[in-house]
Amino acid sequence: MAKVIVNGEEQDISLPVSLIELIRQNQVSQPDMVSVQINGIFIVREKYEETIVKEGDEVDFLYFMGGGR
């Protein structure tokens, strides 16, 4: 088990894990619903599968919110 920080909170996960897998583990039903940055760097959607999350990484899921009216 290794620790990564997801949206500011520690999570224990088993490595290796790809970003797309971490997205699924965090119950994001569709990857299209989030924008993701790892250690402050945004990851383009096309690289979610090939990006590997490392121990200590800070991962932020930012949700698209289109409402307002």
Partner 1 sequence: MDFREDQIERYSRHILLQDIGVEGQERISRAKVLVIGAGGLGAPVLLYLAAAGVGTLGVMDGDVVDLSNLQRQVIHFTPDVGKPKALSAKEKINRLNPDVHVVAYNEFFTAENALNIIRDYDFIVDGTDNFPVKFLINDACVLSGKPFSHGGILRFDGQTLTHLPGTACYRCAFHSPPPPNAVPTCSQAGVLGAIAGMLGTIQAAETLKFLTGTGELLTNRLLSFQAKSMHFRTTPIRRNAGCPVCGEHPTVTVTTLHEAEQAVCELKKKRG
Q: Which residues of 46-66 are buried (b: 16+ CB within 10 A; e: fewer)?
A: eebeebebeeebebbbeeeee
Give, for 28, the enclosing helix (H) or strand (E): none
Q: Please state whether 40 falls in left (phi above 0), alpha (psi between -120 and 50) or beta.
A: left
**Which string of x and - marks every residue 12-31 that binds partner 1 (by CB under 8 A)?**
------------------x-
- For partner 1, the binding residue among 20, 35, 48, 51 (CB under 8 A) is 35
**Which string of x and - marks every residue 40-69 that binds partner 1 (by CB under 8 A)?**
xxx-xx--------------x-xxxxxxxx
Contacts with partner 1 by CB under 8 A lie at 7-8, 30, 32-33, 35, 37, 40-42, 44-45, 60, 62-69
